[in-house]
A and B are shown apart, each in its own frame.
Chain A
């Protein structure tokens, strides 16, 4: 699929495809340090993604809705299967789980403020719930992770829903990491760890080992919360068809599927780039699994991993997701990889701080160092002041609003009064790979690779 531009004037300067400069740099680094690279963000390699799909807008055979005037519902219900109190959101765009520890307390508060204003949910992360995020979030999803850092029944009872995290798209099969620079006194206390240790989270839950056990674990969480709260199960995308079926079998109200473009605050690069499947492929498998079990609409599906734009949201919904979750896009909206940060009423240059990390705006993936030049993925007392909760919330609210406007624009163009009415028949693919993965025809044909002619 990928062709690298190999530009050379004569054969004596021909770059090797297999041993290109990136690979040479990788080998030299490995030889110098004896340690794999750990970094933040998601897969950087070119992958089939939602950009490879386009919508078939209404024309003669379909009737569109007026772009700005006609109503287009975005309300989204999650957790209707068993929970007494399902989650009701104004928009189908939620904030993905990101830990206090990976993010500063200010950032967690920004997420809550913006999500609350937009009528959507935020999610805790490894390390537990902070007061800031509970206070600022009307709807807060509480993660139950393998590490159980900071996990406690009081916060469980305070949560609006519970998300049992089996895995993450950036590292399915792996636990989290938080390098010592970010384990400051508050983070250390919340996680019951010595300050400054390079924290390795467990990759397996401590008290259950398979789907039959998980069913009992989920029942425990329901019993403790008197069957009020929806229970989500989050999986990193790999054997998604089977994993989603098992999650449903275990009693999940909602399944969250995170593709390999999903971000992380600190993971081995080899893991980020080489384990897991693209979100596009995962959505199709997840929806197929729900349909196979006749659970579509009974168990809701949230998709995450590289959702950036309103078009991405619309495509995920059209393929069968009930909602999406966004992590990296949210951080970028807050200023991640920006050239400046806004503090005390003025913009300030952050270039020198990027340079000190050996990077530049637009390329930074140094979340793991805790030295985020724009104050997002940090626990440093000075750096964290570079993002105030109010400023962050304003930007994030604008971003979510834009996504929602784009989503409804596309839905109306496809003649839908409700964004949840978008369907696979509204989509075609631009590449054979995307057609095969998404299970929609190649544009201009009726051909879905793998389904005959």
Chain B
């Protein structure tokens, strides 16, 4: 099928997104190239079909936001909230990502080859995130489900108030957040990391990662709540 090209230097963003929501979903094409994104916000948001969108350059906020089924590749860096609330499919950032990457993603795979900023994977709800570089502070804050693989280092308060999401870190962790703890890597963990690295196209030894998960001590309001003297 023909590859269509949208040049954002001459075409309004709304035209691109409307095409992706309607014509692309109706099967008009399966491959779209976006030229001159020039940091525009909200590129390829709310996609709902298995289309491949290649963004050639840097994207602004929320690139690939709320993605379902599509594969959005950004050959450049991405602004705040890349792949936020993704349901399925894949968002792949070849460069760096800013704050809140993959925030509240319910599914799908977010790959960031470079570093990610603050709060990467915040409120994660089932999606997978693989970061080739390091992540900033408060990453995986209140992450509920899903997995994060961090090939570099992590900043302060990693996994603060974690629920059931699981984090794997290769490098150093500046500090763990409240209720996060290191746990031993099982065979299943090693296999999971290997599979995610493979899907991300990154080459690391899965055995060199540490596992971080919730202590579950914040699951109930106050263990002493019903004390009586």
A202 lies within 8 A of B17 (CB): no
Partner of B46, one of A153, A180, A197: A153
Interface residues of B in 177-195 (CB under 8 A from A): none
A33 lies within 8 A of B85 (CB): no
B228 lies within 8 A of A206 (CB): no
Q: With the chains together, A213 CA to B163 CA distance in Å? A: 27
Task: Kindly supply a per-residue 1/0 record for chain B positions 1-41, scoring 1 wherever the CB is within 8 Å of any chain A CB and 0 otherwise.
Answer: 00000000000011001100100000000000000000001
Q: With the chains together, A38 CA to B122 CA distance in Å? A: 26
Asked if B106 is at the interface (CB within 8 A of a chain A CB), the reply is yes
Residues of B near A227 (CB, < 8 A) are 14
A153 lies within 8 A of B87 (CB): yes
Partner of B41, one of A191, A192, A198, A216: A216
A213 lies within 8 A of B61 (CB): yes
Residues of B near A197 (CB, < 8 A) are 163, 219-220
Q: With the chains together, A216 CA to B45 CA distance in Å? A: 12
Residues of B near A156 (CB, < 8 A) are 46, 66
Interface residues of A in 138-187 (CB under 8 A from B): 147-148, 151-154, 156-157, 179-180
Residues of B near A223 (CB, < 8 A) are 13-14, 17, 42, 45-46
Chain B residue with Cβ nearest A201: B142
B42 lies within 8 A of A152 (CB): no
Residues of A near B228 (CB, < 8 A) are 32
Q: With the chains together, A369 CA to B12 CA distance in Å? A: 51
Asked if B84 is at the interface (CB within 8 A of a chain A CB), the reply is yes
A147 lies within 8 A of B123 (CB): yes
Task: Kindly supply a per-residue 1/0 record for chain A positions 213-224, scoring 1 wherever the CB is within 8 Å of any chain B CB and 0 otherwise.
Answer: 100110110011
B123 lies within 8 A of A206 (CB): yes
Asked if A208 is at the interface (CB within 8 A of a chain B CB), the reply is yes
Interface residues of B in 203-229 (CB under 8 A from A): 218-222, 224-229
Chain A nearest CB: distance from B204 CB in Å? 27
A192 lies within 8 A of B46 (CB): no
Chain B contact residue count (CB 8 A cutoff): 49
Chain A nearest CB: distance from B81 CB in Å? 4
Residues of A near B65 (CB, < 8 A) are 220, 224
Prevailing SS type, chain A contact patch: loop
B66 lies within 8 A of A224 (CB): yes
Known interface pairs A192-B126, A220-B42, A223-B13. Does A35 touch B144 (Cβ–Cβ under 8 Å)?
no
A207 lies within 8 A of B80 (CB): yes
Residues of A near B163 (CB, < 8 A) are 193-194, 197
Asked if A226 is at the interface (CB within 8 A of a chain B CB), the reply is yes
Partner of B225, one of A35, A157, A225: A35
Residues of A near B226 (CB, < 8 A) are 33
Asked if A444 is at the interface (CB within 8 A of a chain B CB), the reply is no
Residues of B near A151 (CB, < 8 A) are 85, 104
Asked if A18 is at the interface (CB within 8 A of a chain B CB), the reply is no
Partner of A226, one of B18, B99, B126, B225: B18
Asked if A34 is at the interface (CB within 8 A of a chain B CB), the reply is yes
Asked if B103 is at the interface (CB within 8 A of a chain A CB), the reply is yes
B80 lies within 8 A of A208 (CB): yes
Asked if B95 is at the interface (CB within 8 A of a chain A CB), the reply is no
Most buried by B among A33, A198, A206, A219: A206
B87 lies within 8 A of A152 (CB): yes
- Nearest 4 pairs of A and B residues by beta carbon: A224-B46, A207-B81, A206-B103, A148-B104
**Could you jot down 10 A-B contacts, CB within 8 Å?**
A32-B229, A153-B48, A192-B106, A192-B125, A200-B218, A207-B62, A217-B62, A223-B13, A224-B66, A226-B17
A33-B227, A224-B45 given; 17 more Cβ-contact pairs under 8 Å: A33-B224, A34-B222, A34-B225, A35-B225, A148-B103, A148-B125, A152-B85, A153-B87, A198-B220, A198-B221, A200-B218, A206-B123, A207-B103, A216-B41, A216-B42, A223-B42, A225-B46
